[in-house]
Chain A
């Protein structure tokens, strides 16, 4: 059943003062020894980097909890500025805009119970957001097993020699990322 839902519209190019926030990609507590970096580029159908995409990340805590915690955007009531997350709270939520070269980066903790981090992509030119997943390991999973190997590989974050995970998002064209429909 589909009710009278409110339609999506593009995020446009001018969300910069509204949505990104300082430490938006620092999902892991500062200095946490098990923190992992997930980073990559967002590309369009011509293979050009997308400098005005906004990416959101959602994942379980390392203990598998999916209830999340408030405080991703924790604020200072005196100045109205951002304080950063409390190190005692793992909120499970990250938000970063791509840089001028289309690159993004988050620091997080490995998700508990599942091998992936959920990703939501917004961009100027994209009329309706897209969901995908960054898989940190290849284990049996209903999404991965539904895909041919070459399509499946677009969801795999690849460990760099220095231990960071590389996960590129291709909106269109060669090696187009697999996007997900939950409706």
Chain B
């Protein structure tokens, strides 16, 4: 424990922000030198300390087998969700505290086609920045009206919509005085298992973006911007809720791979 404290003492935001800047510069230089644009974060991203021992060192094996079962994927249906699942403010006897919001958008594949009838799952901290989870020790209040879990199926246009409250920012122990910007976790399925995606949606204008090693692990600035929802006044409901729009594009196989059987 004393040693751990000492390590954390020297691991300041300044050190982490310096590493974030260095990784960003190296990426920009690599693209200028002809390297491809990288949409996803590298799995080896030292500013996020937990990645150090949890990424493979060996190169991934490229699989081009058109018979791979990963080119099909699990399906979900009306029995997998209930009508209340998309409204995170109505899952308990009392309403949660916080700023009521809706988050809506479309799930598309890489060619811009809607992903229909697929499962979207979300989870988030409450308005005070606390998860309903035993291991979250942040001394912010739990909310008896909020678990922070939602589910829905996409409609025929690939659309999804959730009603919830805006999550709070919260501290974590990557380094001293580390704070996560407010975010909602999203889990998504496409037509193929290879389109699987788990990611995080952020809120526009958050001052914590620049110092957060998880968001900044997406070293491409245009790709990073795609993780930030837009405030959309058209989606705000008078005297009820503020509206955010966030569209999601799943990576995955070329179009020809998913045509069959769909």
B77 touching A71, Cβ below 8 Å: yes
A71 touching B48, Cβ below 8 Å: no
A1: chain B residues within 8 A (beta carbon): 110, 254
Size of B's binding interface in residues, CB under 8 A:
88
Spell out B's residues near A (CB within 8 Å): 36-37, 39-43, 45, 48, 50-58, 60-65, 67-85, 91, 110-112, 119, 121-123, 125, 131-133, 135-136, 147-149, 151, 185, 187, 193-194, 196-200, 214-215, 217-218, 220, 222-224, 226-227, 248-254, 261
A127 and B80 in contact, given A58-B74, A93-B74, A143-B61 (Cβ under 8 angstroms): no
Total number of residue pairs linking A and B with CB closer than 8 Å: 254
B70 touching A118, Cβ below 8 Å: yes
A8: chain B residues within 8 A (beta carbon): 40-41, 197-199
User: Which listed residue (B51, B73, B220, B250) contacts A58, Cβ 8 A?
Assistant: B73
A176 and B79 in contact, given A7-B226, A68-B73, A143-B61 (Cβ under 8 angstroms): no
User: Which listed residue (A6, A71, A146) contacts B80, Cβ 8 A?
Assistant: A71
B69 touching A6, Cβ below 8 Å: no
A66: chain B residues within 8 A (beta carbon): 69, 72, 261
Compute how far the CA of A112 lies from the CA of B79 in the bound complex, rounded to whole angstroms.
25
A73 touching B75, Cβ below 8 Å: no
B43 touching A3, Cβ below 8 Å: no
B125: chain A residues within 8 A (beta carbon): 14
B253 touching A182, Cβ below 8 Å: yes
